[in-house]
Structure 1
Amino acid sequence: MQQTRARIEAVLGQHQDPYLGTDLVSAGAISGVGEEAGQCVVTLTLGYPCSDIRTALAAELAQLVKAQVDLDVRFDIVQKIEPHQAQRNLRNLDGVRNIIAVASGKGGVGKSTTTVNLALAMAQAGARVGVLDADIYGPSLGLMVGVAPGVHPDSDDEKYFKPVQAQGLQTMSMAYLIDENTPMVWRGPMVSGALQQLLTQTLWDDLDYLFIDMPPGTGDIQLTLSQKVPVTGSVVVTTPQDIALLDAKKGIEMFRKVDIPVLGVVENMSTHLCSNCGHEEHIFGAGGGARIAAQYDTELLGALPLSLQIREQTDAGKPTVVADPNGQAAQSYLAIARRVAGKIARRNASQGPAFPNISVQND
């Protein structure tokens, strides 16, 4: 069996996983090689959501091994999302393995739409996912996932909130706690306190990923998040427009200053496709997301079009990934989500233990 394993590893060592960014052997994905009913069985453990592609991937790898080393192999693919190890003396959030902050330097770039669709895509791929709307002043999550006005979260012993279930996601938003027409006329410390309460007093139930839809800018909410919450990584949403790119740079710099990894950049409203004639044009400019990603040594995770359909679906409470799961835009969201998950899996796998608490005492 040892020789058989060596032959299989020789093949899989040449197979580049598109989401882990390395080959399956280097990624440590081979968790077992055995025999069952006269057939070789290889168990692969992947650290990103893959339930939806498991069967196709197993068939592809079996065919690859058969073609190169003439072995009849069956692949069993297991999905295992590892938790982020909190650093800087922060404690992990109960019931949450990984926290992803989705941010933008300015408003109006489609950050909330991107957040919700990435979360839905991650869930479609087989993960347990939640979304927290951290925009205390202008919460929009409820509308986007079809939660009716007036719906409030159930309370556990009047101390903890139970997340509102919507579209297969666990969700929490200030919009669930106040009337939709009530403005939040609060100063910064009150807003920061509200965010902490929403995060820590929500009974998140065994989440692989919690997406936090950040308000635009680099203010109190962002600072509170970086100081109080063990964020696994961030995703920055921008448009190709120069003014949006300028603000996106500030967002990336902010995350760097507070030691939160930037997993990549999503370029929204990248192109516009005319619904009448099919003509495609870059009305906000071209290549901006790629330039900023290269400048800050991160990755352009994907580009999404300026689409009337995406806007209509989100406003109707059925975002694109739910409304048209096989459409081109939904598949783009799915690819971006899996790239994010793959980058998190790589970081978590290479992460050492948390820094110890060191105390000095005088005897």
Structure 2
Amino acid sequence: MAQSDNAKGPVPDNANEHCPGTESEQAGQAASCAGCPNQAACASAPKGADPEIAEIEERLRSVRHKILVLSGKGGVGKSTFATQLAFALAAGSREVGLLDVDICGPSVPKLTGLEHREIHRSNLGWSPVYVEDNLAVMSIGFLLPNPDDAVIWRGPRKNGLIKQFLKDVHWGELDYLVIDTPPGTSDEHISIAQFLKGADVDGAVIVTTPQDVAIIDVRKEVNFCKKVGLNILGVVENMSGLQQPLASMRFMSQAEDGEPARDVTQQLLALLKGSALDADSIVAQSDVFKPTKGGAESMAADMGIPFLGRVPLDPALSLAGEQGRSAFEPGSGAAKSSGLALQGIIQTIISKTQRPSEMHKAATNGSVAA
């Protein structure tokens, strides 16, 4: 991101000549802004010195670690990852907050089992809704009278609510605040970066799926982070191949000559039962979204950012989200295939953010993701 002599704030690389700067009072409104691809975003973003930024910094001073979860593409499992990250962190006896700033598509109330809950306001600010005593959640979903209501807001109003969430929610003392953001690199993202500029954010985790149609947009997200100075903790490749216990799958014969496909599940399982193989111990794997250009790991290497790992497409993880619970719960509901992958990734995120004293405390507690 370039910087002109007279500009206030950073100047995008693709900006027009004589750009006033993204933080200038004239951003998006000056004559030189006409026709600029960034004009709409700059016009709706906060300008000049914002006195409420200091309020945000003060509010978040009691939060030790702040992690943004981003994605360039919608539908890649970003909110699922953010939620399971929060669940795993809380399982280690940490005080955790989960903030959903996806204003038009709030998924977190569903993913945490908190649908139809309401928030309350006190003299300390907005009180979040609690999953457990040490896991608090805030989302616009708690403010909607009807969960089916569409949020038809322009940028300034969305930015205003995001700012209000950051400065008015009373989290108390937190070890971690996980912030689930909307997909893309819109004006909300510019505002979030500006609102949190002095809040000592640990960094961003970027979620993608393997196929190139998602990677193309994630590259834009990576460049966005670099331009606004947001540290990238790493990239997660989600839905990286389907993994499912063979015994839970359904098998169909190939339809031929107009004949419908037949269910041959029992015949196949009977054949396996008569062999030395145990169907209950076999996991089927298929590259549902097969990468054509190396996937997230190749992209991360190309762009010089960390690759955190792969999470398989796991029906048990999907079910955990549908039921609004942790995928790490012991028993038959645990997401075994994706759970192991998530634990490894979350452990890496913790090691990148925590201080040695915090690591010792978590290890003593024997958490899921110590």
Q: Kindly indicate whether residue 285 of structure 2 is the aligned counterpart of residue 285 of structure 1.
A: no
Q: Which moved more, 1:268-277 or 1:242-251?
A: 268-277
Shift of 1:346: 6.9
Q: Which of structure 1's runs of 4+ aligned residues deviate more than 6 A? A: none
* Residue deviations 1:143-184 (CA, integer Å, cap 9, x gap): 1111131x1112113x71111101441110001111212211
Shift of 1:238: 0.4
SS at match of 2:130: strand
Shift of 1:326: 7.7
TM-score (norm 1): 0.67
1:55-66 aligned within 5 A? none
Distance 1:175 1:314, change over 3 A: same
Aligned to 1:336, which of 314, 333, 345?
345
Q: Kindly indicate whether residue 213 of structure 2 is the aligned counterpart of residue 243 of structure 1.
A: yes
Q: Kindly indicate whether residue 327 of structure 2 is the aligned counterpart of residue 320 of structure 1.
A: yes
Shift of 1:138: 1.0
Shift of 1:328: 3.8
Aligned to 2:129, which of 164, 185, 199?
164
- Work out the percentage of aligned pairs sharing the same amino acid: 35
Aligned to 1:268, which of 219, 238, 241?
238
Distance 1:326 1:186 in 2: 37
1:68-107 aligned within 5 A? 91=57, 93-107=60-74
Residue of structure 1 in register with 2:204 after alignment: 234
SS at match of 1:171: strand
Distance 2:223 2:347 in 1: 24
Distance 1:103 1:248 in 2: 9
TM-score (norm 2): 0.66
Distance 1:265 1:314 in 2: 21
**Is the Cα contact below 8 Å between 1:95 and 1:203 reproduced in 2?**
no
Aligned to 1:126, which of 85, 89, 93?
93
1:105-120 aligned within 5 A? 105-120=72-87
**Is the Cα contact below 8 Å between 1:105 and 1:249 reproduced in 2?**
yes
Shift of 1:278: 3.6
Shift of 1:279: 3.0
Shift of 1:108: 0.7
Residue of structure 1 in register with 2:362 after alignment: none
* Residue deviations 1:11-45 (CA, integer Å, cap 9, x gap): xxxxxxxxxxxxxxxxxxxxxxxxxxxxxxxxxxx
Shift of 1:288: 0.8
CA RMSD of aligned residues (A): 2.4
**Is the Cα contact below 8 Å between 2:316 and 2:335 reproduced in 1?**
no
* Residue deviations 1:77-113 (CA, integer Å, cap 9, x gap): xxxxxxxxxxx98835142112111010010101000
Residue of structure 2 in register with 1:185 after alignment: 152
Long gaps (5+) in structure 2: 1-52, 250-281, 359-370
**Is the Cα contact below 8 Å between 1:119 and 1:337 reproduced in 2?**
no
Residue of structure 1 in register with 2:121 after alignment: 155
* Residue deviations 1:273-293 (CA, integer Å, cap 9, x gap): 254374312121244111111
Q: Which moved more, 1:244-253 or 1:177-186?
A: 177-186
Residue of structure 2 in register with 1:257 after alignment: 227
Distance 1:264 1:228 in 2: 22
**Is the Cα contact below 8 Å between 1:103 and 1:237 reproduced in 2?**
yes
**Is the Cα contact below 8 Å between 2:102 and 2:181 reproduced in 1?**
yes
Shift of 1:121: 1.1
* Residue deviations 1:41-79 (CA, integer Å, cap 9, x gap): xxxxxxxxxxxxxxxxxxxxxxxxxxxxxxxxxxxxxxx
Distance 1:315 1:306 in 2: 15
- Counterpart residue identity of residue 225, structure 2: F
Distance 1:346 1:293, change over 3 A: farther
